[in-house]
Chain A
Amino acid sequence: MNEYVQYYDLRQQIEATPLLIPKPPLYNFEDGATYAAHMDMLAQPLPNGEPSPFSSKEPGSGHGVLMAVVTHLQRAHAHEFNLVPDVWWIEWFRALGAEMQQAEYPVINLVFERSPEAVFSRVTATIPANTEIRSTRDPNIAAYTLYEDGIYGDQQTVTIPARINVLGTLPNLRIGEMAELPRFLSFVGGVQNDGSVVSPGKDPETLVQAMMRVRDGLRSGSLAQDPIDGNFDPTNDRFQARCITDADFAYWAKRLGCDKVNVLSAIQYGVTNGVFADLTTLVVYPSTLQELVFNSMVGMTVEPRRFDVRSAELIPIDGTITVKVIPSVAERDVFDIVATAIAAKVNPPYGIWGDPNFSATLATALEESFSIYAVPEMQLKHAETGEPLSAIVAQPWHLFEIQKTLEVVTVR
C-alpha cells in the first residue's frame, strides 16, 4: 500500500516540477519534400534527351506508389533513429574512436606597462602567473595571465597571454577594456588588451557537429584526425586517407584548398568520345593547385585506379548584353550592377562546368538582381578569337569567364 502512495506522490511531484527537457529530433525527415524529390528525379529527361517514361507525377501510377512506400519506409527509419537516446550515439562514437570535443577557454593578449617611476629608476616589474585583470565594462569578465613575465631593462611594456574566465567562444570585447587590476601590482603602471587574440575559444561540440565530423572522418579514412601534430601534411607516412567514390575525391580536393572541383569518372581529358572505366580525372580551380592536388592525392587512390588532375580551362567571354532595368536606376549604375551579379554568381569560382546553356545561366543570374527584370538580347563571343558562343563546344573541364570588355546596353 505504501508503494502506491509513493508512486502517486512521485507522479504529483513530477507533474508539478517537470524536469524533462524536450529533445529536438536529431533527424528531421519531411516525407512530403522527400517524396516530391524522388518524383522529380524520376521525371528528369534521360541522358540521351528523350523524355522520362516516369514523367507523370500521379500518385496512383506504379512509380508513384513505389516511391510512396519507399518514402514511408524512410520515415519509419528516421523515426527509429530519433528514438535512439543521445548517450547511445556518444558511446558509439567512442567505440569508433571519436570523442566529443570539449569546450575551450579563449586566450587574449594583454599589454602590461611599467610605471613611470619604475622606468626612471630602472626597476624590473614582475607580473606573476595567474594575475587577475578585470573588464572595466562587464564585471563578470576577467582574464588570468598564463605565465610569469617581467618588464626588464629599457622595455616599456610586455605582452602576456591571458585566459578569459568564460568557457566557450570569446565574448565581445573592446580594445582597452581589460584594464582593471583588482590587486595592486608593484611597478606596473597599467594594463590593457590590444585586440589580438591567441585562441578564440570553442563551444562544446554538439551531437550533430560530432556526427558530421565522424561522417567526414569515416569517409576520409582518418576519422577527422588528419592533422598530425597540428599540421595538415598529406605527405606524412602516418597520414591516412583514401579516395574510393567521386565524393571522396571532391572532399579531399576541397580540403587541399580548391575553390571548385569537377570529378570526371571514366572521362579522359581532351578526349570527347570513349569510356576509360579505371580513370578518375579531377579538374581543379584555381589552376595553381594542380600539382599540389596531384602529388597529395595520388597516394590516396586505390591501386588499379588511374588518376589525373587537370586545371580548369577558362574561356574568356565578352560581347553585348541588353538588359531592361527599373526606372529608378541611373544609367551609370547599370554596368556595376551587371558586373556585381556576374562576379557573385557566374564567373569562377561560381558557374557550371562546361555549361551547355551558359546564356540562360547568365540571364538568370542577372534577373535575380534587384533592378534588372529582363534580358531580352545577348550577343556573346570568345573574347580573343571572336568566335560566337553558340559555336564553342563546352567540355566538362571548361569554365566561362566574362571579361571587363563586356558591353551593357540598357533598355527602359
Chain B
Amino acid sequence: MFDYIWLIPVFPLIGVLVNGILGRRLEETNKSSIHWIACSAVGLAFVLTVVTFFQLLALPGPERLVEYVWFEWIRAGDFSVSIAYQIDPLSMVMCLFVTGVGFLIHIYSIGYMLHSEGRYYRYFTYLNLFMFSMINLVLANNFLLMFLGWEGVGMCSYLLIGFWFSNLDNAKAGKKAFITNRVGDFAFLIALFLLMISLGEHGVWSLRFTQVFEHAHLMPQGVVTAVCLLFFIGCTAKSAQIPLYVWLPDAMAGPTPVSALIHAATMVTSGIYFIARSNVLYSMSPLSLQVVAVIGALTAFMAATIALTQNDIKRVLAYSTVSQLGYMFLGLGVGAFSAGIFHVVTHSFFKALLFLCAGSVMHALANEQDMRFMGGLRKKIPVTYITMLLGTLAIAGFPGLSGFFSKDEILWYTFANGHPVLWLIGVITAGMTAFYMFRLIFMTFFNECRASQDVQKHIHESPKSMTVPMTVLAVLSIIGGAIGVPAALGGSNRIEHFLEPVMHHVGGHGHHSVSTEYLLMIISVVIVFIGIGLAYTMYVRKRELPHELATKFQWLYTAMLNKWYVDEIYSLLIVRPLHALSVFLWKGFDVRVIDGAVNGVAHAVGWCGSRLRIIQSGYVQAYAISFLFGAALLVMYSVFALV
C-alpha cells in the first residue's frame, strides 16, 4: 500500500541530478526549464505526500504506523541500519508542510531569482537538495538516516546562505552557520553513540525509532538524561536556541526565499521535530524536559527583546523566528508535544509568508533592507501589504488566526502543567511579539516613504509567481488554526488527536477548569492588543516617542540594538582564544616543529650530497678504475668465503 513511499525523497533527488549535471547548459539555452524541473520535482513529492496522508487517514488509529524498508544500508555484526521510511501521523504532518511550503517557495523563487545575480541552476539544485535532505529527515525510520538528513539540510543551509559568495560577509555568515551547527552536531553524534552502546548492552543493536523507544526502559535513568541533553544541544544548534542561536540572524545573508524556506519554515524546526519524535526518551527524563522548557522560554524572551530594536526587516523576522522556536521548545518542555508540532505547522505558514512578503518589499525597493528607508508602501504594493498584515496578525496571535490557537495551546499547557513563571515569560513575549511585528508593519507600510527619489520611482508590485504563493500562504495562515481549535472554544483539536498515537503524554491537564483556560486566553489577547496599540502610538501617532525612549534608556537601547553583545562575548570567550590557539599551533608547532623536521631532513640529505658529489669527477676511466676495484673486492670476497 505504501510501496511507492521511496518516491517522495527521490523526486527532488532527480531534480538535483538533472539540474546539477545539465543545469549549466540549460541555463544558457533554456533558462525556464530549470525551474520547471525543480518545481515539478517538489510538486510531485507534495502530491505524493498528500496521497499518502489520505491513505494513512483511511487506516484506523492504532494501525497508523507503517515502515517501509527500501534497502539495507549498513551491517556490522548484529548492528544494522536500513534506508527505510516511517509513515505515521508525526512524519506525515511534518512532510506535508515541508513539501507544501517548499513547493510554494520554489514557485516564489522563480520570480525572485530569475533576474538576480548568481547561477540560476545552482540555486535550484541546492534548493532541491535541501528538499531531499529534509524529506529524509522527517520520514526516516531510524536515527542514523535522520542524522543524514540533518547533516544534509545543514550543508544546504551553508551553501544557500553563502549563495552570493562574492560578497565576503555572506560567505562569512555561511561559515558561521556551519561551524555553529558543527558544535551541536558533535553533541548529537555523541548522544547517538551513547544511545547505540547503552542499548547494545542489552542486545538491542538497532537505531530504529520503534525499536529504540520500545526498549528505552532498559537504559538507566542517568544515561537517558545524558542522551536527551546531548541531543538537545544538537537541537539548540539546528533550531537556533540559547546558546547556539547566533548563526540564524546572520543567515539572513542568503536569498530571501531561502530564509523563508530553510531558516524559518522547515529546517530550523527539525530540532522540534526531533524532540517530538523522541518524546518517549524525553518523557523518561523530567530533568531534560525542564531544561528544554527553560531554554525555550528564555530564548523566546531574549530574542523578542532584541527584535524590538532592530532596523533590518529580515533581522526582525530572524529574531522573531528564534523567539517562536523558543515557544515551540517551551511547549515540548512542558510535555505538550502535539502543541509544539501544531505551532511548528502554523509558524511555517505565517513565518514563510512574512519572509516572502519581506522579499517582495525588498524586490520593490531595490533590495533595501533597512526599515528606516521604507514607509508608505501600503498603497503602492497592496497585495504585499495585505498578505503581510495577515501574516503579522497571525504571528501576533490575533484571535481566530492560526498563531492564536497554537500559541495559546502552548501557553495553556505551560500553565496547566505547573510552570506559571514560564507562562508569564511566554505571555510577556507574546506582547513583545505583537509590538515588534506591528512596528515592522508601521515602519514599512505606513507614514511617508523615506526611500530615495530614484528608488521611489521604481516601486512596483512583484510578479504573479511571487504574489500567488504569498496569497496561498496568507489563506493558510488564516485558516491553518482550524486543525487545532481547542475544546474550550468548541473545536475538537484534530491535530492533537491525530498525533496521539505517536505522543507519550506527560502530566495531565484536566485539573484546571475551562474558565481558567478562558481567563488565560483573555489575558494573552489583552496583552497582544496592548502590544499592537503601543506600536501604533510609537510608530504612527507620536513618532518622536521611540527616540525619546531610546535617549532615556540609553544603555538598555544600545544593549538591545547590539543584540545584548552576545556575538562580542562569544568572540571574546571562544572565538578569540581558539583563534589564538590556532595561531600558536600554526606558527609555533606547524612552522617550527613539523616544517622544521621536514626541512631538516632535506637539508641533511643535501649536505651529504654536496660532500659525496666530489667523487663524481665525470672521467670515464676514473669510474672504470673504481669499477675494477669493486669487482676485484667482490671476487676476493667470494674466493675467501668459499675457502
**A complexed with B:** no
Chain B positions near chain A (C-beta within 8 angstroms): none
